[in-house]
Amino acid sequence: GLFTTRGKFLETHAIRDEWNSIVGYMHVDEIRETIKPFFLRRLKEEVAKELPEKIFQNVYVNLSPAERKVYNAIKDRSHSITEESEAITAVLRARQFCDAPVLVDEYPEFGSKYEACMEMLEEVIGNGHKVLVFSMFEQMVDRLYVAFEKNGWKSLKVTGKTKKKDRPAIARQFNEDPTIDICVMDEAGA
């Protein structure tokens, strides 16, 4: 009852591509503020004191010349946009390309960032560590899951489509099963 009908909500907040598929949402801060009283947010320090501090390591990956050409075409197209919804879609498309060029129709490969990620995973998993991999895009999670399995890494996947009742068992399996190397998830699954 917080929002009107699903149709009205999507009409107001959904960003759609040229095929009318939902590719993102706008006015997210407004939505977040509306639902805020109904969510309990706890900090890691309050519930999982045994976890170590996060270690951030920025890794800069240059685009290949072919990737740069496609990215520039996406960027150049966005300069001619006049509608807000088109602009948001253009930004989302650029973000998808930066996540993995394969998510954009014009480019058939995972790209440079994927290659750098795989190299880092080889080292980390080779040293006996487990890895959580996050992506903003569910379709990227699906592709990574398949790629990790092909690479011989036993993986788990959690997306927004994963039933909430199944998530604790997946987390337990990741934590307790020594054969699991990676859990890949999107932000809706996290």
pLDDT in tens, 121-167: 999 999 999 999 988 888 889 989 999 999 999 999 999 889 989 99
How far apart are alpha carbons 67 and 111 in whole angstroms?
7
Q: Per DSSP, what are the bridge partners of residue 186?
A: 135
How far apart are alpha carbons 110 and 165 in whole angstroms?
32
How far apart are alpha carbons 41 and 29 in whole angstroms?
16
H/E stretch holding 125? helix 112-126
Confirm whether pTM is higher than 0.85. no
pLDDT, one tens digit per residue, over 2-42 is 787 888 888 888 888 888 888 888 888 888 888 888 877 77
3-state secondary structure of 118: helix
For 36, 46, 89, the CA distances from 41, given in Å and listed in that order, are 9, 10, 30
